[in-house]
Structure 1
Amino acid sequence: MNQFTAIIKKEGDWWIGWVEEVPGANAQERTKEELLASLQEAVRDILEIRREEARKQVEGNYEEVPLAV
């Protein structure tokens, strides 16, 4: 399981936030809990899209190797 850093803050009636390590992973919700759940979903979605894009770019045979960070 990877760990990421969410930057969050309350602005008026809304909680807003983004994930430092994943450009584009940002959200706005009414509660802190909803915000954190939305950020988790955004990270999962963005990483899956990037995986699909990377696979489409490869030609010929290739190997996927797990890399722990």
Structure 2
Amino acid sequence: MHEMKSRNYKVHITKQEDGGYMANIPSLQHCFSFGETIEEAIEHVKEALEGVLMVMEEKGLPIPDDNDVIEASITISESSSKNRLSNLVSA
């Protein structure tokens, strides 16, 4: 087996309501993992990513390029969200 080239992937971390964290790789929809700490979640998702990429390579599947992921943030006020929701409910 030949050595895979080095790749960088964005990781999104989400704090879970019941404690702990979920880490996911946006460019690989089903590549995610959990951990009690942020560091543990990142370590686990890295292991998952390595496994996913190895299987994809073995099957001859194209490896997604993380450069295709565009990140953006939006901000909305809670009051405008609640007003829209109440308008939808009362309609």
TM-score > 0.5, shorter chain as reference: yes
Q: Select the structure of larger CA radius of gyration.
A: 2
1:29 deviation in Å? 1.2
1:43 deviation in Å? 0.8
Seq. identity, %: 16
1:11 deviation in Å? 1.5
Give the AA of the match of 2:48. Answer: A
In structure 1, stretches of 5+ residues that fail to align are 56-68
Map 1:8-27; keep pairs closer than 5 Å. 8-12=13-17, 13-27=19-33
Higher strand share: 1
Normalised to the residue count of structure 2, the TM-score between the two structures is 0.55
In structure 2, stretches of 5+ residues that fail to align are 1-5, 62-66, 68-91
Normalised to the residue count of structure 1, the TM-score between the two structures is 0.70
Residue equivalent to 2:86 = none
Number of residue pairs matched?
56
Residue in structure 2 matching 1:42, options 15, 28, 48: 48
